[in-house]
Amino acid sequence: MNIGADIEEVKRFKKYAKDKERLERLFSKDEIFYCLSKKNPAQSLAARFCAKEAVWKALEKENKKITVADISVKNNSDGTPEIYVKNKKRKDVKVSLSHTKEYAMAMAVKL
């Protein structure tokens, strides 16, 4: 089992929300759509980015073959976040995301 964690300042992602090129470089279309549909997109973008970083760290033996952009977070029908790496669902990786007005964080565990 491996773990990964990340924390980010939300204010950093306020400018990302307005930069289509940067968004498309870091996030999947589904992630962008989901985050930009929220009342405060920067919080959601920051939390998703933290999840990607945390997963990348938890996948320590694989992380030299993937980038943060290869990782995406999708919510299933009950709202639970699920991890996809290169568009393949990873049932062996669990993630938890959280944010406040100023910070976002995520923890990932590779089972």
111 residues of the chain, pLDDT tens digit each? 999 999 999 999 999 888 999 999 999 999 999 999 999 999 999 999 999 999 999 999 888 899 999 999 999 999 999 999 999 999 999 999 999 999 999 999 999
Q: Give the pLDDT of residue 107.
A: 98
E strands, the chain, where? Answer: 2-9, 71-75, 81-85, 88-89, 93-99, 103-110
- The reported pTM is 0.94
Q: Give the pLDDT of residue 16.
A: 86
Residues near 87 by Cβ (< 8 Å), separated by ≥ 6?
72
Q: Give the pLDDT of residue 38.
A: 95
Going from the N-terminus, what domains does the chain have, and what CATH number goes with each? Answer: 2-110 (3.90.470.20)
Q: Give the pLDDT of residue 24.
A: 95
Classified as helix, coil or strand, 15 is: helix
Q: Are 26 and 51 in contact (CB under 8 A)?
A: no
Q: Give the pLDDT of residue 66.
A: 94
